[in-house]
Copies of this chain bind each other. A is one copy, B any other.
Amino acid sequence: MASEAISAKAGYHHGDLVAALISQARELVAANGADHVSMREVAAKIGVSPSAVYHHFPDKDALLGALGRTIFEELADEQEAASKAIPGKSATATRKRFRAIGVAYFSFAKSNPNLFRLCFGPLCAMGKFDEKANSRAWQLLVSGLEEMSAIGAVDPAVRPNAEILVWAAIHGSSMLVLDGLLPEEAIHLVLDSIEVALQGAAPVTKLKTVNRVAKK
């Protein structure tokens, strides 16, 4: 997967170096971690001079940054696939689909720890919040929550901040599991807790006795 570098390396001119570089970098980062990857190694494995890289990326951080943005899309791909794998508008289908999105997030982190760390590391500091607010991953989460809302699984009182809570909890548990600070089951416990939290413990009868949801 994710290997564009089919262009024949005819000789002096490599067909699509930039894609090959990212693809190769992906492999090395996945294997050795972002810190222990060298431009020279990337170039060498492609069969190109080290300096060639600098005609496509200003420096190392730029290469890893570009890779990171790629990974971000990959993550969204997997979440989307997991979501689409569970069709239907029934309540249970909606619940399962919602959970599947979260599980996909964690699974990706767990099976690609180095890549996951890269794209959430300082090298990929995206412009700012708003740029990413309409990223695919975010939209997926939003629509997932909307569906949950539609089947009455989300207390209106917690709805406004739900996306943030959910993302934070899933991202946090994924990270902490990677760090070995939480056991692997944590992700399921977190997802359980989230569902409870969303519906405010009262499945249907939604009481409005919440004291402070947004202070602002």
Interface residues of A (CB under 8 A from B): 33, 35, 113, 117, 120-122, 124-129, 132, 155, 157-158, 161-162, 164-165, 167-173, 175-176, 179-183, 185-186, 188-190, 192-197, 200-203, 206-207, 209-216
Q: A35-B35, A169-B169, A173-B168 are in contact. Are A201 and B192 (CB under 8 A)?
A: no
Contact of A209 among B158, B165, B176, B203 (CB under 8 A): B203
Complex contacts, A200 vs chain B, CB 8 Å: 196, 200-202
Contact of A157 among B196, B206, B213 (CB under 8 A): B196
Q: Chain copies in the assembly? A: 2
Contact of A158 among B132, B188, B193 (CB under 8 A): B193
Complex contacts, A211 vs chain B, CB 8 Å: 195, 203
Are A167 and B161 interface neighbours, CB within 8 A?
A: no
Question: Bound complex: CA of A189 vs CA of B158, how far in Å?
Answer: 10
Shortest beta-carbon distance from A181 to chain B in Å: 6
Q: A128-B180, A197-B193 are in contact. Are A202 and B209 (CB under 8 A)?
A: yes
Q: A132-B180, A196-B200 are in contact. List 6 more A-B contacts (CB 8 A).
A: A164-B189, A164-B190, A170-B172, A185-B216, A189-B214, A193-B213
Question: Bound complex: CA of A127 vs CA of B202, how far in Å?
Answer: 40
Are A129 and B180 interface neighbours, CB within 8 A?
A: yes
Contact of A161 among B124, B161, B193, B213 (CB under 8 A): B193
Q: A171-B172, A173-B164, A173-B168 are in contact. Are A183 and B215 (CB under 8 A)?
A: no
Are A189 and B171 interface neighbours, CB within 8 A?
A: no
Are B201 and A186 interface neighbours, CB within 8 A?
A: no
Shortest beta-carbon distance from A168 to chain B in Å: 4
Complex contacts, A206 vs chain B, CB 8 Å: 201
6 CB contacts below 8 A, A to B, read: A117-B121, A127-B180, A164-B190, A165-B193, A169-B172, A200-B201
